[in-house]
Structure 1
């Protein structure tokens, strides 16, 4: 058994994958295996992956089933003491694994560096905490930091003991297209007692590459699923007795934004559809914030009072105005 299993899903990344693999081969920490799962690429990604003959690299080809399915294959086949994930269009500093492999902790979280396609540094994201902290210390600031930086949701900059993942049968939800990584790690946070934090930022996260979820527009996002993930976050915080007033206010603001966006994205503005959507949402988001501005505040007031007809008329008018450039 090796120390670290690196899991890399690949789909149409031939422009980037060679650099990603080479950055792993150049690691100062050598006791690793890499599981590359080609998710039915239609370009030459698979051929590029097979160029490398290092015995630590294992290339698996599968039919296109999505990034979560590919990562789950990697999790199932991994043999390392720890798991870490690297995407096929990103790359690592030479000391990345060395800085993250910190025994005997169940989980280690570091930072990352955002770069453009030319390698220019755009920003760095680092955890607010440093060294080991128990969940009782982490949970009170968890939600604000996640909403501000996303650091608890990225697959980047994390290492977790494989025994935790296998013991609790934690896997990526293959039905989630966006924030599937955050959903995965939420399951882990609920099962561990502490996390070790490091300020290392040796994961280079390339912004807005092809096939990246970050470039999805609102019309292609399943906001009902995003609502469910936020509800899981709330449950996690409540279990840790940390869903205080500030967290509740941020939670309501986020959920309110999702509710409003769901209505705006209705392809057909029909009264019965608006009413059905509103009733479904009321089961998931019974309370919304009215601390928003302008027309959104008016609309959420209508939602709060179950004024379905007025909601319908508002959306009908907004759709007509958008068609005429208003």
Structure 2
């Protein structure tokens, strides 16, 4: 992860030696181009990519444990789209640019989407099943996506302001933005670590968990709140970066098994690595321009989604 952070600060339109990246933190030089680029642009961008990757990966691992579905993640279940819709609504109609307000409405949109998916997926005799929750997530995602596109069509100026953000991007993010959301994300990470052992019991089965004395409803509500906090704060800063919450927990399980006390920290580190690597790659695909990191994570995630779907759902 540290190597990826250094690579993120070194490579781009202007390449910087790794030694110069190191010296930009140890030796202050206001006249050095490398120092200015690293301190004002590259370091905030690298840090943003790392914390977004970690947050989305932890949220994805919790969603998959809660639903017992390897295809669940904040993007596929519509949580990111709900958060995005609320942000775009406030930006285009009320011209809101305050990060605290956008973060709050992002949480609200993520919560609405999560509740809607749960209620829609629970309809019918069988209740909530892995396939039904994916179908419900697809429906809610399509609904919020169409609302978002409709608002942007009616507001061309808003389209220019948020289109790059809507694809998921960490470019141009400042440390001031992180200073506000980082404590919120940190609280979400810590809460995820604390609740990990309860997730181990819950994944055995709800009836078994209740028989062992666990208050399953309380645990589910706490997990849902953590997911909304992590996904909502990520969307508020970087937009809906997709597929990280889908791919990373699957990789983490190869190292950690089924113990959430290890899945969560592994997911955080692997998620940070993948988003950092995707952001570096995005700078060179259409050189000298660059792609939003959300496009690169989709290129990685779609084949993984198909592979997991064939193994995890079709074979069942």
TM-score, reference length from structure 2: 0.25
> Which has more radius of gyration?
1
TM-score, reference length from structure 1: 0.25
Q: Which structure is higher in strand share?
A: 1
Greater RCO (CA < 8 Å, at least 6 residues apart): 2
